[in-house]
A = this chain, B = another copy of it.
Amino acid sequence: MLSRSIKYRYNYKPISSNFSRLISSSRVTENSQKFPLNPCINEILTNPPSPNTKIQVSGWIKASRISKNVAFIDIVDGTTHQDVKCIVRPPSLLPETLNTGSSIEVSGVWSEGKGKQKFEVQVTSENEGKVDVLGEIEELYPLQKKNHSIQFLRTIPQYRWRTESLASILRFRSQVETNLVNFFNKHSFIKTHPPIVTASDCEGAGEMFRIESNSMLSNKKEEEKFFGKEAFLTVSTQLHLEVLCAALNRVWTLTPCFRAEESDTNRHLSEFWMLEAEIAFTNSLTEITKFAELMIKSTVEMLVENKNNEGSNLIDTVDKSIKDQMTSRWEMLLSKENWDSITYTEAIEILQKNVQDGKVKFTYSPVWGDSLKSEHEKWLAGEYFKGPVFVTDYPLEEKAFYMKINEDKKTVACFDLLVPDIGELIGGSLREHDLQKLTNEMIRRGMDPKPLEWYLDLRRNGSMPHGGFGMGFERLLLYLSHGENIKDVIPFPRNVNNCIC
C-alpha cells in the first residue's frame, strides 16, 4: 500500500483542489490503522512472526497425539489447508478431553521447528502456555471418523465443508472467481449486475420458477401481483446484459440463475451461478470463441502462478489419482495452442461415421437437426478430441430466437464449448442486431414481440453487432477440479426435492 501511495504521488494528476487534498490525506488508513483481527493461520504461515514471539492460535483440532511427557496438536482454521503444530509440555497443560473437531485457543511461543515443519508453537508451563477449549464436540459428531464417502458428506451440509478436501474446493472456488475478476478487469470489462427477478423468459424453455410475495399469497389476494405482473427467477441474464453492452461495450456478470428442471444429474443444479459476457462491435464468432478460450486459459494460468498457490493447495489436498488427472487436465488446457473447433454439421458427420465404423454406440442416433445429446458431447470432447472442442453453427430450430442466422438460412452463428466428462461448458452466439430480421424471426416462431419491446429498442437506436456467451460457473469448477458431482463445488446445492438447509 505504501509503495502504491508513493507511486501515485508522481503519476497522479489531481483533478480539483479538494481531490488533491483528499489524495494527500489518503495515506493514513491502512498504514497507521492496526488491522483489528488476530492473525489467522494463513497469515501466520505466510508472514511468520519472529521466533520466540508469544502467540495465540485459534482453530479446530485436526489431530492430536498424547504421550507421557509431551503432546502434539495440529490445528487448522480453514484459511489454508496447512496446519499449525503445537508441542505441549507437559501434557497436563491440556484440558481433560481433546477431540478432533473441537475448537481451541492455544497460547504459546512461536519457535523454529525441529522436524519437517519450519515452525511450531511451544506450549510449556515456563512460557505460561495454555490450551483452552472453546467448543467441544458431541459423541455422535460425524467428522471424528475419517474417510467418509463424499456421498455421505452430502447428507451433512452443515458440517461437510470442515473436511480438508471440500474446504479446499471452496478456497479454490474463491480463487477462480478472483482470477476471473482480474482477467476481465485487465481487458476493460465492466462487471454488472443484471436482475434476478424478471418478467421475461430468455431461453423460452419455460422451466422457470415463479415468485410472489409471501404475504400476498397468505392473504389469498391471488389476483394482485407484487410486481404488478407475473414475475420469475432469471434463467439467463443475457437479454438484460445486452442492454448494458449497448451502453458499456464490454460487460460481464456472475449471477445466480435458476432452472426448474426436475431431472437430478451430477451436472445439473436448480440454482447455479452463471458467468455471462457480452461484447459490442464484433461480428466474428471466432473472436468470441477465442476470447472464451483465453478466459479459461488465463484463469488456469493464474491458478498455477498465483502467490498463494491455491491451485497447488487444491491439488495437495486430493487423492493421488485425482491429483494426476487434474494436473494433466490443466497442462492440456494451457499447452494446446488453439483448441479444436468444428461445425455442428461436421460433428454430426464424425458421430455418424464412428457409429457406422462400430467405434462407438449411442443410445440416441446422431441425426442432423437434432440437438447433440449429452452422450454425444462427452464422447466428442472426451474420446474423439480428448480435450475442449468448440462446436459451431447449430441448426436454427434448435437454438434461441436472438441468434444471428447464417447465410445458409439453416444454421445460426453460435457455439458450444464441449469439454471431457462434462459436455457443454459454455454456450454463446452472435446476436441478431437488425431490427427487421429479429422481429421477423420472432413472428415466424409465433412469439409475441410486445413483452420484449425494450429488447427490440436496442435494435431501434444505436444498434451494433455484438455477441457473447454464458458459462456455468460450477461446471467450470467441476471440470478444473476433476470432481465427480456438481453438488460438491457449491456450498448448498438446490435440486428437485433438495433444500436441506
Contact = CB atoms under 8 A, between A and B. Distances in A.
B461 A141 contact: yes
Contact of A226 (B23, B41, B496): B496
A335 B212 CA distance: 46
A464 B103 contact: yes
Contacts of A246: 162
Oligomeric state, in copies: 2
Contacts of A418: none
Contacts of A304: 22-23, 26
A161 B137 CA distance: 54
A29 interface: yes
Given A197-B499, A229-B499, A260-B215, A465 B19 contact: no
Given A190-B174, A211-B211, A305-B4, A247 B162 contact: yes
Contact of A327 (B18, B80, B286, B335): B18
Nearest to A22: B331
Contact of A188 (B36, B79, B101, B193): B79
Interface in A210-225: 210-217
Given A209-B211, A212-B209, A247-B161, A315 B499 contact: no
A114 to B, nearest CB: 21
Contacts of A323: 16
Nearest to A101: B462
Contacts of A60: 462
Contact of A294 (B33, B80, B491): B33
Interface stretch (A248-256, A351-359, A375-383): A248-256
Contacts of A267: none
A441 interface: no
A287 B492 contact: no
Contacts of A273: 193
A227 B134 contact: no
A372 interface: no
Contact of A215 (B185, B207, B281): B207
A192 B174 contact: yes
A494 interface: yes
Given A214-B208, A231-B499, A196 B196 contact: yes
